[in-house]
Amino acid sequence: MIRPALYLRWEKQPRLCLPAGGLGRYSPAMPEAARPRRLPPWLKRPLPRGTGQKPVDALLDVQRLHTVCEEARCPNKSQCFTHGTATFMILGDTCTRACRFCSVKFGRPPAPPDPDEPRRLAEAAARLRLSHVVITSVDRDDQPDGGAAHWAAVVRAVRQALPAADVEVLTPDFQGRMADVDVVLEAGPRVFNHNIEVVARLFRAIQPQKNYQRSLAVLQHAASRQPAVTTKSGLMVGLGETREDLLGTFADLRAAGVQMLTVGQYLKPEPGLAEVERYYEPAEFDDLRRAALAMGFPQVAAGPFVRSSYNAKEQFHGQA
């Protein structure tokens, strides 16, 4: 049980418990690099009070659905669940890629896509009365189409269950197969999101199984193929990049046709992943937002707790 006095950031057992206040439990004999690092004041916030999170947890459990909120140890999970929102993660909980920032399980997924998942997810979205549904997935390089057909089935099911809702997809790169990207686009999402995640210079070190130019090509293809669909991408800071690195990546994304940009602080979710090199101050995020807007991005959300799918509805409507 997590006590209200603790700040938001925790790990499931048997993982190391890391409350955001830097009071994680560890043995004095633990190596220094493995000990919790104290967060600055602007990255601390109290857990939401009340029981609003429980109905979402129960619904997801009954429908046998995964969320990136849970699997990626998102620091916004409790706040989102309390407000009745979640980012659905399809195609299982095991990823075929091992990025050095992500705590989602890595390995060969044990089963093919579940044909009943689209129905269950659409039913859950309808019961939550969502007006903006965000869907993401693990990478499924074991599938010939990367899971594109399943993606399309989920989008169509949600659109049928919630005709007035906007559907936002946060997709993998499908190994650069544009025909698979088209399958997802033709299902009718309102927002097509593919996260670049890190600046070009750090791509190989942080995402060794991905390719920077390939990700840009996916975004550019989506922007040109379906001009009515809003294209979106996001990246993390605090991994050793420079301001020049960031501005260069911003420029590449804008040149690829990206309309919405998100920039947030990287927070190491568990031991063994990439270390945080530094924490950006709120004023630095404000500076990056201004710089991105000056490049022509219509919508930019930048801040310590900003995530690609956090407050996605507000981001889409320019309220975040």
**At residue 196, does pLDDT exceed 60?**
yes
Query: Greater confidence, 145 or 316?
Result: 145
Contact 245, 204 (CB under 8 A): no
What's at 75, amino acid-wise? P
Contact 99, 82 (CB under 8 A): no
pLDDT 10s digits, 108-147: 877 889 999 999 999 988 988 888 889 999 999 999 999 9
Mean pLDDT is lowest, of 30-34, 251-255, 268-272, for 30-34
Position 130 scores a pLDDT of 86
What's at 238, amino acid-wise? G
Map 195-252 to HEC letters.
CCECCHHHHHHHCCCCCHHHHHHHHHHHHHHCCCCEEEEEEEECCCCCHHHHHHHHHH
Which tokens hold the place of 203? 């791509």
Which tokens hold the place of 247? 């501005």
What is the average pLDDT across 18-47?
Answer: 51
What is the average pLDDT across 255-284?
Answer: 94
Contact 78, 8 (CB under 8 A): yes
pLDDT 10s digits, 175-185: 999 999 999 99
Position 105 scores a pLDDT of 83
What's at 139, amino acid-wise? D
Binning pLDDT at 50, 70 and 90, where does residue 310 land?
low
Q: Which of 54-58, 105-109, 166-170 has the highest mean pLDDT?
A: 166-170
Query: Greater confidence, 289 or 15?
Result: 289
Percent of the chain with pLDDT over 70: 72
Q: Return d(Cα 71, Cα 190) in angstroms, integer.
A: 25
Q: Return d(Cα 105, Cα 171) in angstroms, integer.
A: 17
CATH class for the domain made up of 51-316: alpha beta
Binning pLDDT at 50, 70 and 90, where does residue 236 land?
very high
